Amino acid sequence: MVPEKRKLTVVGAAIAAAFAVTGCAPQGYNAADYGNAAEPASNTAASPGATADPAATSDPVAQTDPNATAPPGSGQTAALPDSQVTNKLTGSAVKRMGEVVENEDGFVLYRFDGDSNNPAKSNCNGDCAKVWEPALTNDGKPALKGVSASVVGTVTRADGTKQLTIKGWPVYHYIGDKKPGEWKGQNVSGKWFVIKPDGAKNLTCLPKISQPVAPPADSGGASDTSSSGSDYSY
């Protein structure tokens, strides 16, 4: 009986592992969309190849530098049209990933390891900002649901616009996400991660490092977000 029990245990573990691997990709997508091998990870251990420091994901003592966070309405630039700003931040949960922050249209927001949160600073400009669109604001006062006002602020970008921050981290949309609730930007370049309502990285599901989509064509035509921008380091 012991060998039989051991056999059942091994089979059960194999089945569970198979579900864990395939379950790391958003519903409706297979592992090939995520570097060909989506792997689960906990909030305390990253999968092989990930560059994130697991010890830093919870940001237990990181604080926004008030001197680096612009007060509402203090910008010198003209107000952006409503279509270009993020008017709402919602703490939510999506399948296979768990805690996320979404904008008013239900798209998941991300943070970038190349940025800093103390002081707050965005280092994603040029083509980077075409692929990772900053969550811009005019007054720094988005409607909030499931996100504490105490962790929401703004930072002035290189072009003078104001970008929303969560716990000091500038937040972005990924143009590779074509539908609300998708998170295909997770672990892109080993630097981009879904952000949680407290500003921490969400590492519940950590696919292997993948390349970002290519930036939109300068001609103004629709970007081909199905192709990889393998020449880009962001």
Does any domain span residue 150? yes
134 within domain boundaries: yes
Summarize the confidence of residues 137-148 as an average pLDDT: 97
pLDDT of the residue at 223? 47
- Average pLDDT over all residues of the chain: 76
**What digits encode the pLDDT tens for the residues 70-128?**
444 444 568 999 889 999 999 999 999 999 999 999 999 999 999 999 999 999 999 99
CA-wise closest residue to 210 among 33, 20, 35: 35
Beta bridge partners of 109: none
- Number of folded domains in the chain? 1
Q: How confident is the model at residue 29 (pLDDT cuts 50, 70, 90)?
A: low
H or E segment to which residue 214 belongs: none
Q: Residue 116 belongs to what domain range?
A: 52-201
In a domain, 159, yes or no: yes
Stated pTM of the model: 0.71
In sequence order, what are the beta bridge partners of 120? 117
Centroid of chain to Cα 169: 11
Model pLDDT, residue 114: 96
Is the model's pLDDT at 231 over the cut of 90?
no
Instruction: Say if residue 184's pLDDT is above 80.
Output: yes
Q: Is residue 222, in this structure, part of any structural domain at all?
A: no
Q: Which of 27-31, 180-184, 190-194 has the lowest mean pLDDT?
A: 27-31
The answer to whether residue 65 scores a pLDDT higher than 80 is: no
Cα distances (Å, whole numbers) of residue 15 to 20, 21, 48, 204: 9, 10, 21, 19
Label residue 4 by pLDDT band (50, 70, 90).
Answer: low
Do the domain assignments include residue 16?
Answer: no
pLDDT > 80? residue 222:
no
Compare 76 and 177 and report the one with higher pLDDT: 177
- For residue 37, being part of any structural domain is answered with no
CB of 232 closer than 8 Å to CB of 112: no
Q: What is the CA radius of gyration of the chain?
A: 19
Per-residue model confidence (pLDDT) at position 217: 82
